[in-house]
Amino acid sequence: MIMMATINLPAIDDSFVDSFQPTLNYGNSPVLLVGKLVDGILYRSLLKFDLASIPSGASIISAQLTLEMNFDYSGAGTIASITPYAVADNWSGATVTWNNQPAINQAIAGTTANVTVTGPYSWNVLNLVNGWFTGSLANNGLELRTGESTSLETKSFVSSNAAAQRPVLTIAYETDILPAAVTIAGRTVESGHEDVTTTDSFQYSGARDTSQMTAVSFVVSNTGPNTATIGAEDSNDGINFVTEYTFGLAPNITTVVQYSFYSRFKRLSYKSLNPGQPTTVSIDYLART
């Protein structure tokens, strides 16, 4: 059986480089700058993500980078066409500068976003993420840059050092390693287990096809130090889900999630109840025909 899941990954490292201050490091900056300000002043931003939480053998079906633009240096909505490129060399947000910035692979890039006014912007980076995940491309992260020919195109984005609206990489994947199915006394029994860590945004457990099952249980345990928000979700196609309800799950509490609606697919959503207070959640799935 195919299991579908979506995860939101925070940036594990980010910074920007500045041609006007070529020896300065901006690893602690709350913002990331991209684009040309005036002649001689260019900005480029670097971000890195850890894919270790994606199960080996999974098939990645989508990958979307989202950043929040919080200031337009033109003051007039000048378009900045920003593209994410694969980074060819290793780097550290704590030490990278304009003078020692890594090279990029211009042949491996995500989609281009025309950034104008403040708000969230997204890029399709499936080709980069697939390369990182399969090992065909070293995971040195990505660099955001423009064509660097238009003055006053510089845009400011929220960095991972900010309190909220930080960069996020949203990845949807499929895997057929869960659940395990066995036959007991003529009945098929399926089970699966996931250990997850919450973030400030909703993430999702694997979607389970329960259409042939007569009994279904999702047992959820909060094994961490902070309260989580858990949601029960339904879908008829395994892609578009609706939420029946959400509830808070305190630390060291275990509960069984009950569903009221009939649907082919079911899954759980989960996130931290309070921003910046992650916790760990154990999810056990058991169903029988």
CATH number, residue 113: 2.60.120
How does pLDDT run across 63-115, given as a tens digit for each residue? 999 999 999 998 888 899 999 999 999 999 999 999 999 999 999 999 999 99
Domain boundary among 141, 173, 205: 173
Given this model, what pLDDT does residue 130 score? 94
How does pLDDT run across 101-139, given as a tens digit for each residue? 999 999 999 999 999 999 999 999 999 999 999 999 999
Clarify whether residues 86 and 33 are in a common domain: yes
Clarify whether residues 152 and 189 are in a common domain: no
Clarify whether residues 11 and 129 are in a common domain: yes
What domain count does the chain have?
Answer: 2
* Domain around 118: 3-173
Q: Hey, is 126 helix, strand or coil? A: helix
Clarify whether residues 183 and 161 are in a common domain: no
Clarify whether residues 185 and 260 are in a common domain: yes
Which residues lie below 8 Å from residue 107, measured CB to CB, with a gap of 6+?
Answer: none
Clarify whether residues 169 and 183 are in a common domain: no
Clarify whether residues 146 and 186 are in a common domain: no
In Å, how far from its chain's centre is CA 79?
Answer: 26
Given this model, what pLDDT does residue 178 score? 47
DSSP 211-258: TT-SEEEEEEEE-SSS-EEEEEEEESSSSS-EEEEEEEE-TT-EEEEP
Clarify whether residues 148 and 76 are in a common domain: yes
How does pLDDT run across 138-167, given as a tens digit for each residue? 999 999 999 999 999 999 999 999 999 999
Q: Are the C-beta atoms of 184 and 177 separated by less than 8 Å?
A: no
Strands 119-124 and 168-175, how do they pair? unpaired
Clarify whether residues 20 and 49 are in a common domain: yes
Domain boundary among 137, 157, 173: 173
Q: Are the C-beta atoms of 238 and 209 separated by less than 8 Å?
A: yes
Which residues lie below 8 Å from residue 24, measured CB to CB, with a gap of 6+?
Answer: 18, 97, 98
Clarify whether residues 60 and 37 are in a common domain: yes
DSSP 40-79: TEEEEEEEE---TTSPTT-EEEEEEEEEEEEEETTSS---
Which residues lie below 8 Å from residue 82, measured CB to CB, with a gap of 6+?
Answer: 34, 35, 112, 113, 115, 121, 123, 144, 145, 146, 155
Clarify whether residues 29 and 159 are in a common domain: yes
